[in-house]
Amino acid sequence: MSFLTAMQERYTTKKYDNTKKIDSEKIAELKEILRLSPSSINSQPWKFTFVSDTKTKKKFAEASFFNAPKITQCDTLVVFSRIDNIDAFEKQINNNLPEGAVGYYNNFLKDKPANEIKSWFSDQTYLALGVFLSACGVMNIDATPMEGIEPEKYNAILNDKNYTTLVGVCIGYRDKNDGNMPAKNPKSRLALDEVINSI
C-alpha cells in the first residue's frame, strides 16, 4: 500500500471487533517505529506504554469518559506520555546526546519557564503520535487517538512520577458495523488550495 493510499483510507475508528487481534510481530514493529520517531535535537522526551491486559485496560477505560467502550473493545491501548521531570530530562540528554544538541538546549530552552519547556516536550511527543498513526495506516491497523481522557487518573495507573500522560491511542481492527468508516462516513478535509501554499 502506498503512503497516500493509507492516508486516504485511514480514519478514526469508533467501534472495534474485539475478536480480532494484532499479530505480536506487528506490535513489535510499532514499538520499534515509536522508538525511531523524530524529535527536535533527538530529545526523545517521551514514553509509550502498550496495554493489552484486559483488567488494566478496564482501569484506563474507567478514566476515559465516552471513549471507554473503544478501550475495552480494542486489542491494545497505547499511552503517550511526556517527561515531566526537567532534571531527569537534562540528565538524560547529558548522558546520551552530542555536545551540539545539549548546547542547543542549554542556550535556547533551559532558561525558559518550566511550563514552556514542558510544552516543548509535548510538541515532540505529538510528532511521534503522527508517525504512529501513519504507521498504523500503512500496516492496515485501525487506530483512535484520544485526548478525551483523564490524564491524572492515567498517571496514577501508570505510577511513573517522571512522566505525565498526553493522549491514549486505541489500536485494533474495526467492527464491520462501525459507522465512522469512510464507506459510510466519507472523509472530510479542507481543499488542497486552502491548506497548501506553493511559492
Model confidence pLDDT, tens digit, residues 103-145: 999 999 999 999 999 999 999 999 999 999 999 999 999 999 9
Q: Which CATH architecture has domain 3-39+46-86+114-176?
A: 3-Layer(aba) Sandwich (3.40)
- How would you classify residue 41: left for phi > 0, otherwise alpha for psi between -120 and 50, otherwise beta? left
DSSP alpha helices (H): ranges in 111-169? Answer: 114-138, 151-158
User: Region 146-174: what's the mean pLDDT?
Assistant: 99
Backbone Cα Rg of the chain? 18
Going 112 to 109 to 88 to 132, the CA torsion angle's sign is positive
Q: What is the pLDDT of residues 11-63, one digit of tens each?
A: 999 999 999 999 999 999 999 999 999 999 999 999 999 999 999 999 999 99
> pTM higher than 0.85, yes or no?
yes
**Cα pseudo-dihedral 95, 101, 106, 109, rounded to 10:** -120
What confidence score (pLDDT) does residue 158 get? Answer: 99
pLDDT digits (tens, 9 = 90+) for 52-93: 999 999 999 999 999 999 999 999 999 999 999 999 999 999
Residue in this structure with the C-alpha cell 502498550, named with its chain if needed: 50
Rounded Cα–Cα distance for residues 50 and 24 (Å): 12
Given this model, what pLDDT does residue 1 score? 82
Across the beta sheet with 46-51, the strand order is 46-51, 76-83, 163-172, 142-146
pLDDT digits (tens, 9 = 90+) for 132-143: 999 999 999 999
Cβ neighbourhood burial of 151 (10 Å; 0-12, 13-18, 19+): middle
Could you tell me where the beta strands, DSSP code E, fall in the chain?
Answer: 46-51, 76-83, 142-146, 163-172
Partnered with residue 48 across adjacent β-strands are 80
Share of the chain above pLDDT 90, in %: 99
pLDDT at position 74: 99
Q: What's the pLDDT band for 100 if we cut at 50, 70, 90? A: very high
